[in-house]
């Protein structure tokens, strides 16, 4: 008799408990760290499903699953992931960190979306199992053990229109056009690094980039990628300037892998000098901001 009376009371309580557990699980996943903001130039902001109001990102702030990152004009962000890979974002860009899984023994899997703007992914620890996948509005980029530059939007269209390999009658969409360039390492590249490659897939076709300076271009949603083709020096220079204008100028437009690494170091070093920090940030053990990251920051209109 008592059991039958309790059932109507217990049912809604159990439902509330289940919903609370699901919400707690979602919040926990939201806080899964993927790395830290190792260098910032200009105005860089972040939001998430759990905290939709945009906030300025501070150096050493943790980056987590689900974070939505936006840079403004003349702004750049350099994210150091847990395996020492880096994901750099140029000015006027918008990206989402969807997922990141890292096991020092098994490798790394990175999943992100670039909605607009320029980006660079530079693989870190040498592990054959490490992969990265970046989605854009027009296609999917697969990265294995290499450095890769890309750009989505109007600037991608403008660069592609001047490339001899892109047919004059190509139908471009300035909002979703995607240009991808393999920077290295590739076969016979400097530094003795493992040969890497990237794939660019859309509309049932996959283009493989396995040599530095090979590129692929997706002009619009529903279109297949054009390529591979060797990007021109002027086209690469324009892409560099969108990604890291101050670094590109400082390095005299150098396009080799050494230039990429020097550019990344220059950007990080410039911020270290400005902040007076002598030690490079460590995404695993750097706890300077553990208790303060994200605190005291007010939403910015």
pLDDT in tens, 1-30: 444 444 444 444 333 333 333 333 444 444
What pLDDT digit, counting tens, does each position of 161-208 carry?
999 999 999 999 999 999 999 987 644 444 445 567 899 999 999 999
Q: Is-above-0.85 flag for pTM?
A: no
**Percent share of the chain, pLDDT over 90:** 49
Beta bridge partners of 76: 41
For residue 116, which phi and psi values (nearest 5 degrees)? -160, 155
Helices (H) and strands (E) in the chain, counts: 5, 17
Give dist(CA 228, CA 183) in Å, integer. Answer: 13
Closest-CA residue to 43 (of 18, 74, 67, 22)? 74
Q: What is the mean pLDDT of the chain?
A: 75
CB contact at 8 A, 71 and 93:
yes
Domain 36-275 falls in which CATH fold? Jelly Rolls (2.60.120)
Question: What are the domain boundaries of the chain?
Answer: 36-275
C-alpha dist (Å) from residue 140 to 91, 183, 200, 219, 225: 21, 18, 6, 13, 10
Name the band, by pLDDT with cuts 50, 70 and 90, for residue 262: very low
Q: What is the pLDDT of residue 31?
A: 61
Which distant-in-sequence residues (6+ apart) come within 8 Å of 239 by Cβ?
Answer: 118, 149, 151, 155, 159, 179, 181, 231
Strands 33-41 and 214-218: unpaired
């Amino acid at each position: 008799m008592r059991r039958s009376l309790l059932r109507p009371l217990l049912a809604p309580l159990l439902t509330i408990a289940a919903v609370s557990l699901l919400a707690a699980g979602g919040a926990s996943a939201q806080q899964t760290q993927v790395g830290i903001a190792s260098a910032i130039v200009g105005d860089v902001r972040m939001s998430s499903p759990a905290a939709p109001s945009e906030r300025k990102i501070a150096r050493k702030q943790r980056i987590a699953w689900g974070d939505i990152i936006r840079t403004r004009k003349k702004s750049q962000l350099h994210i150091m992931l847990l395996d020492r890979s880096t994901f750099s974002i140029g000015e006027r860009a918008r990206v989402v960190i969807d997922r990141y899984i890292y096991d020092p023994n098994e490798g790394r899997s990175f999943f992100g979306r670039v909605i607009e703007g320029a980006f660079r992914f530079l693989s870190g620890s040498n592990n054959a199992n490490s992969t990265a996948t970046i989605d854009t509005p027009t296609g999917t980029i697969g990265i294995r053990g290499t450095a890769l530059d890309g750009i989505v939007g109007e600037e991608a269209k403008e660069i592609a229109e001047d490339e001899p390999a892109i047919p004059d009658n190509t139908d471009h969409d300035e909002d979703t056009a995607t240009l991808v360039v393999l920077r290295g390492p590739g076969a016979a590249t400097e530094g003795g690094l493992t040969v890497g490659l990237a794939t660019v897939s859309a509309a049932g076709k996959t283009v493989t980039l396995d040599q530095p300076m090979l590129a692929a271009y997706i002009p619009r949603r529903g279109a297949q990628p054009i390529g591979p083709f060797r990007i021109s020096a002027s086209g690469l220079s324009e892409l560099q300037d969108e990604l890291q204008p101050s670094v590109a100028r400082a390095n005299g437009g150098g396009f080799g892998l050494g230039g990429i690494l020097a550019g990344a170091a220059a950007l990080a070093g410039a911020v270290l000098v400005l902040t007076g920090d002598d030690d490079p940030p460590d995404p695993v053990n750097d706890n300077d901001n553990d208790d303060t990251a994200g605190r005291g920051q007010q939403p910015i209109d």
